[in-house]
Amino acid sequence: MRILFTLMLAAVQFCGGPSAKDKEIQGKAKMVFGKLPDKMPGSEKDTPALIELGKKLYFEKRLSSNDTQSCNSCHNVEGKGAGVDNQPTSTGAFGKNGDRNSPTVLNAGFHAAQFWDGRAATLADQAKGPILNPIEMAMPNEKAVIEKLSKIEEYKGLFEKAFPEDKDKLTYNNLASAIAAFERTLITSDRFDEWMAGNWKAMNSEEVNGLALFIQTGCTGCHNGPAFGGNSFRKLGEVKPYETKDLGRFNVTKSEADKYIFKVPSLRNIALTAPYFHDGSIKTLDEAVKTMAFHQLGKELNDSEVKSITAFLNTLSDKKRL
């Protein structure tokens, strides 16, 4: 009987069965992160026609003043694009660069607010900004955008299908709503999700150890919830000062308490979205992990710890984009 039990235990281990440690770590992860929902808030009213229009508008370069820039220019989702342009800061319609790194649009609808400073409450609010920003897409005003689109025959029919009950169908608000509907489809799936669902082979031992270290080190104080962030605002340099001229959320609220406060970025797909931080100043994920541990937690991680945490963070990459 004892021999039979030993053989059964060996078979379970050979098949990738979980250890007690794996189960313990998974239990902690479920409490801290939960499960990434299958749908984004607000998507229950999105129709195929609305999403189709939003997708076309997302890739529409004629939304820029000189027909060179689209939403996808800075937030590339084509092919294996991870919703960013992988530049420190993005180049706009007339060759000038913005002053902040373009965050990924993947899973963005799960965030509490949009932009690094949270100045847009929703995806639709966010979509309105870059089109009129003089450095980005540089259209002069909303009226000019609608006049330009109204001259494109195809859009008349697409707006009619997407907004059948609206008297005025081709409006700036509807444009933004359509883009937001498309962006709500950009939900990713990764190996961490598989591991959390019980596929114990989805992560190797170093990645699991990295997850445990991520939790133990205190990274989850900011990077928590299904998106591993995006749900709170924190001071950059909370424990050890971080030098930056960007005043962050203060520029929106004008409150002294909001100086150097930024939205905590989501870590989903973080291995695909370099460079890092609001200014794109950190080139590698290893460096980002080490820098954050020091400035936010006051901890100096050794190379082995950084390697393990980085290995875990790689499991958060969308499988379709690898």
Quote the percentage of the chain above a pLDDT of 90: 94
Decide if 86 is inside a domain: yes
How many residues are listed for the chain in this entry?
Answer: 322
The rounded distance, in Å, linking the Cα atoms of 243 and 262 is 14
- Considering the domain architecture, whether residues 220 and 304 belong to the same structural domain is answered as yes
Decide if 295 is inside a domain: yes
- Considering the domain architecture, whether residues 71 and 197 belong to the same structural domain is answered as no
The rounded distance, in Å, linking the Cα atoms of 179 and 176 is 5
Q: What is the DSSP letter of 211?
A: H
Per-residue model confidence as pLDDT tens digits over 2-48:
444 333 444 444 455 789 999 999 999 999 999 999 999 999 999 99
Decide if 8 is inside a domain: no
- Considering the domain architecture, whether residues 302 and 195 belong to the same structural domain is answered as yes
- Considering the domain architecture, whether residues 154 and 219 belong to the same structural domain is answered as no
Q: Is the pLDDT of residue 288 over 50?
A: yes
Give the CA dihedral 245, 251, 255, 261, nearest 10 degrees: -60
Question: For position 56, which CATH number holds?
Answer: 1.10.760.10
Give the CA dihedral 65, 71, 74, 78, nearest 10 degrees: -130
CA distances from 304 to 62, 77, 171, 309 (A): 49, 33, 54, 9
Q: What are phi and psi of 321, to 5 degrees?
A: -110, 15
Decide if 11 is inside a domain: no
- Considering the domain architecture, whether residues 252 and 233 belong to the same structural domain is answered as yes
Decide if 127 is inside a domain: yes
Decide if 226 is inside a domain: yes
Write down the pLDDT at residue 16: 55
Instruction: Give the mean pLDDT of the chain.
Output: 95
What residues contact 191, with CB distance under 8 A and at least 6 apart? 202, 203, 207, 315, 317, 319
Decide if 144 is inside a domain: yes
- Considering the domain architecture, whether residues 49 and 161 belong to the same structural domain is answered as yes
User: What positions carry a catalytic annotation?
Assistant: 136
Domain, as residue range, for 60: 43-183
Write down the pLDDT at residue 270: 98
Dihedral sign of CA atoms 224, 230, 233, 239 in order: positive
What residues contact 280, with CB distance under 8 A and at least 6 apart? 87, 88, 89, 100, 101
- Considering the domain architecture, whether residues 250 and 195 belong to the same structural domain is answered as yes
Which uninterrupted H or E stretch holds 235? strand 233-235
Q: Which of 183, 215, 233 is the last residue of a domain?
A: 183
- Give me the half-sphere count of Cα atoms (radius 13 Å) on the Cβ side of residue 273: 28
Q: How many domains does the chain have?
A: 2
Decide if 5 is inside a domain: no
